[in-house]
Amino acid sequence: MALQRRLSSLLGSRFPYSASAVVGPRTFSASAEESSSSEQQQQQRVTTTLQSNGIAHVQLNRPNKLNALDMAMFEAIAETAERLASDKSVRAVILSGQGRGFSAGLDVKSVANPKNNNPLASIRTLLSKRHDNSVSNLAQDVGYLWRSVPAPVIAAIHGVCFGGGLQIALGADMRFCTPDAKLSIMEAKWGLIPDMSASVTLRELLPIDVAKELTFTGRILSGEQAAQYNLVTRCVDDPLQEAEQVALEIVEKSPDAVACAKKLYHKNWVHQSEADALHYEMELQKTLLGSWNQLAASVDNFGVSVPYMSRKNDDGKK
């Protein structure tokens, strides 16, 4: 609630142009809801507001279900990440949940209802649906696609952040959460493994013994414990304010340098030989050297202020 007030205050007072930049999630025909939600509500599964300073606020917006993931939510999140990846005016993304928590994870009742004739049909769709040439399926997209957004993505977590909800947050570049948030790698509760890209994101963050214990047991952690284990970057009283502050630091920097750093680390952190890693470092730097934004950043240190141009065209792929 405090988070919501904080967001409204941020959006309302400081970024008057935000309304014009709303990115609407597409509707997805396969996601017909059993509840009587109107079409308008479904279109609001995720709301995106782009501030004039390039910071996009993305909110999971199904508060009456604790932002649980039904098919429409999966589609809306993937769609949002894709749009933000191709929008060169986006300089940082803040991802949070509307209402009492970040996300309770998979909406089992909607996606795997045992009353249905084929209760696992939707889950099988999640595992098989993918774009041409994509390495990730729709289930993985909601976590993995944040990595393909050139701008840094910061998750601001409060309340529950369970299972699929946590895997969405793990796809962000940083995670801030409240001390009393509740987080869990919860899939074991359903006899499953985390399969929404956690095995790609966790390996860059945690020692494997910690990841195993949390996954085997499905234990629920407080925000403070999650920070001790580095499941979140840090624990703060107001994650949304912290995210905004870091985002403001980031938008002062060259958007090309920031995007290249993100690509560099994703590519080199795991599974890259030293020779290839060093070569990629050099190749990326060459694209930056002498470019408008690199010069703009440089002369700023000598008291000459030149505005940045939009990030270079970048398909967000590595």
For residue 212, is it left (φ>0), alpha (ψ between -120 and 50) or beta? alpha
- Following DSSP, what letter does each residue of 53-100 receive, concatenated? TSEEEEEE--GGGTT-B-HHHHHHHHHHHHHHHH-TT--EEEEEESTT
Per-residue string for binding with its own copies, 161-200, x by CB under 8 A?
------------xxx-----------xxxxxxxxx-xxxx
Q: Which stretch binds its own copies (CB under 8 A): 49-57, 74-82, 97-105, 133-141?
A: 133-141
- For position 116 contacting its own copies by CB under 8 A, the verdict is no
Per CB under 8 A, 19 contacts its own copies: no
Quick one: three-class SS letters along 7-18? HHHHHHHHCCCH
Residue 72 burial (10 A CB sphere; 0-12, 13-18, 19+) = buried
- Among 219, 220, 238, 310, interactor with its own copies by CB under 8 A: 219
Part of the chain binding its own copies (CB under 8 A), chosen from 20-28, 45-53, 56-64, 271-279: 271-279
Nearer to its own copies by Cβ, of 42 and 102: the residue is 102
Site residues for its own copies, 72-101, by CB under 8 A, read none
Nearer of residues 19 and 135 to its own copies, judged by Cβ: 135
Gap between the Cα atoms of 85 and 47, Å rounded: 16
Q: Are strands 55-60 and 46-50 parallel, antiparallel or unpaired?
A: antiparallel
Tell me the closest approach of the beta carbon of residue 41 to its own copies, in angstroms: 27
CB of 280 to its own copies, least distance (A): 7
> In this complex, which beta carbon is closest to its own copies, that of residue 60 or of residue 297?
297
Q: Given candidates 295, 309, 312, 314, which one binds its own copies under the rule CB under 8 A?
A: 295
| Minimum CB distance to its own copies smaller for 108 or for 160 | 108
**Of 76 and 214, CB closest to its own copies:** 214
Interface with its own copies (CB under 8 A), residue total 91
Q: Which residue has the tokens 């996601």?
A: 31
Token pair 């599974």 is found at 271
Q: Does 121 bind its own copies (CB under 8 A)?
A: no
Interacting residues of 266 by C-beta distance below 8 A, sequence separation 6+: 147, 318
Which listed residue (58, 211, 236, 240) binds its own copies by CB under 8 A? 211
Pairing of strands 182-184, 221-222: antiparallel
Closest CA to 7 of 43, 61, 45, 44: 61
Task: In angstroms, give the least distance from the CB of 111 to its own copies.
Answer: 12
Among 144, 149, 159, 177, binds its own copies (CB under 8 A): 144
Q: Is 135 in the site for its own copies (CB under 8 A)?
A: yes
Residue 91: both structure tokens together: 């300089």
When binding is defined by CB under 8 A, the residue of 54, 293, 311, 316 that contacts its own copies is: 293
Q: Is 44 near its own copies (CB under 8 A)?
A: no
Nearer to its own copies, 61 or 240 (CB): 240
Q: Which is closer to its own copies, CB of 29 or CB of 118?
A: 118
Q: Dump the DSSP string for 133-178.
A: T-SS-HHHHHHHGGGG-SS-EEEEE-SEEETHHHHHHHTSSEEEE-
3-state secondary structure of 219: coil
